[in-house]
A and B are shown apart, each in its own frame.
Chain A
Amino acid sequence: MNKPVRAKDLNVSQSQPAIEIRNLVKLYGDHAAVDDVSLNVDMGVFVTLLGPSGCGKSTLLRSIAGFAKPTRGAVIVGGRDITHELPYRRPVSMVFQDYALFPHMTVRQNIAFGCEMKGQTKAAIAERCRQMLELIHLPDVGDRYPAHLSGGQQQRIALARALAPDPVLLLLDEPLGALDLKLRRRMQQELKQIQRRTGKTFVFVTHDQEEAMSMSDRIAVMRDGRIEQIGAPEQIYRNPATAFVAGFIGDANMIEARVAATDRDMLTLHVAGQNWRVPAARVTAETTPEVGASMVVVVRPEDMRIADHGREGDLVLTARLDDRTFLGGRVRLALTSNEGLSLVAEVRQQDFAQLAERVEMRCSPADVAIVAAAEGNRTNP
């Protein structure tokens, strides 16, 4: 019958997705924890499921691992439909948030466990353990017990244990959540390096957008059981598809606007008492908005300028400077515009003004993203 699939057994081209999720739905009673999610991830890609807690990212991950039974839809890993496969026959490995290392086994026994379950020979298992310990730069801890290791070391052991049986897919459920900030930064880099070196497909779950931005090849932003947007980190940051994504990823000034007129490639917005023309290409939604539609102009703080040397076509907002914070090379300003909007800007050192002074803030039409206003007024402008 069907044996567990190993990556090297799979005669797959790089173009075939490592995992394909088709219209997955997971209901708990009436509540849809995962609501019609489809996702393709190519081999060797580091993809992150990002979203606030309760957005369904963990449930999605557990559905892939087989711990949650999907209500509808399909999960295909390495070309094989595993939607109804038992957890212990799936070619996927998982790294748990609390590591779930077996406390009564040594590090080596922990790492060997997955290989043992595949009935590999003792020699092969020993060799694999050695490789794995080498990979995580902890060659000498094999005979220690997990409780005697630090959090960061345990985290790496958990990773090695999951990688040892050579899974098609590695699932990571907020694996860095328990670490302190400094260690977290270091582990982010190390995790990324290990992913590159092994060439494995990683599906990483986190609610920390900075973490997602620094590690991922692709990010899927989730909310209320749905994927709001999938793309490379830069793309999501620059061209957020929705107001939610814009607000969740990085800092953003969200300025309400109304569509006053549309022509072929330009859009006239009524914003902050002005009519402002922006390229229609800056609208990140799939459909061009109609006249009268409520929109939100997303401006990143670093795209705000204090400058008299403005360019033609800039949006100009007069604002009072409330507070400023030094960030080394840059200064972060908190402002309130004449229209009562709270604004954040990051500017170069020499640009800042005096507190309580009125300044003209500018942003260029090329630097903004226009998204549809959130239904139900969810976003905080």
Chain B
Amino acid sequence: MAVTSAAVQPRRSTLSRILAFVSESHNALGFGFMLPAAALLLVFLTYPLGLGVWLGFTDARIGRPGIFIGFENYEYLWDDAVFWLSVFNTLLYTISASILKFALGLWLALILNQNLPFKSFFRAIVLLPWVVPTVLSAIAFWWIYDSQFSILSWALMEMGLIDHRINFLGDPENARASVIAANVWRGIPFVAITLLAGLQTIPQSLYEAATLDGASRWQLFRYVTLPLLTPIIAITMTFSVLFTFTDFQLIYVLTRGGPVNATHLMATLSFQRGISGGQLGEGAAIAVAMIPFLLAAILFSYFGLQRRKWQQGGGD
């Protein structure tokens, strides 16, 4: 409001002259405009990030500030079989879920890109699993995977495919497959809708030209669709990998890391040791151990974006 009056009033007091200077200098005004966002992010994002790294070097517990103990937490984790199991689980979970999400998501995107009746209706309902709170849909999966009353077991038994109930979450191998399935279910819509957005930017004329040149359906996909879609695939999958790698909610609801730590991810182990167990320093060290993997994903995204610029002839 004050800035407004500074510009409108011809008579200038000292205050309005300062305001006028600020509103004309891009740097001063830019600084002022950035202030609220920057303050919130610096205090609640950058500072905790540093604090987390610091906590990883201390023996802090809940209710007791820690003292610096160097790499002791990391040395302890290095010899901890459960930690390495969680690293293995996280990689297995991320890689298999991402591959499935990509394959199924791309397939769904290709289907939705066809000329369909009720197209927008289908696009809307397909997004539902992604909109609904993960914890609440995970609770539905928990009930679907119930050891006694699982609807899947019942349906498969009725069809005569199996002769006893499946112990979805009680057996290590089954539990891993079950949480991956639930994660894929939730992740498909995001991948499908973003790839669909990418598919829609590919001009139809390219397909017509390729068809006139005698390209088969596979060749259309391999030599037209895929190369033009690569940049968006790179970005989408980086996000997908990032969020799968740091997943917490689904595991916390379905298994809490069990049975015998078979589904513990680094995030859930960090919560269990840091918050439930009260060993803040150790929990923070586990969280910090996730950072190298995240950096790898971000670099991957960066080079994905570079390639996109190059493909578009260096423009923005």
A pairs with B? no
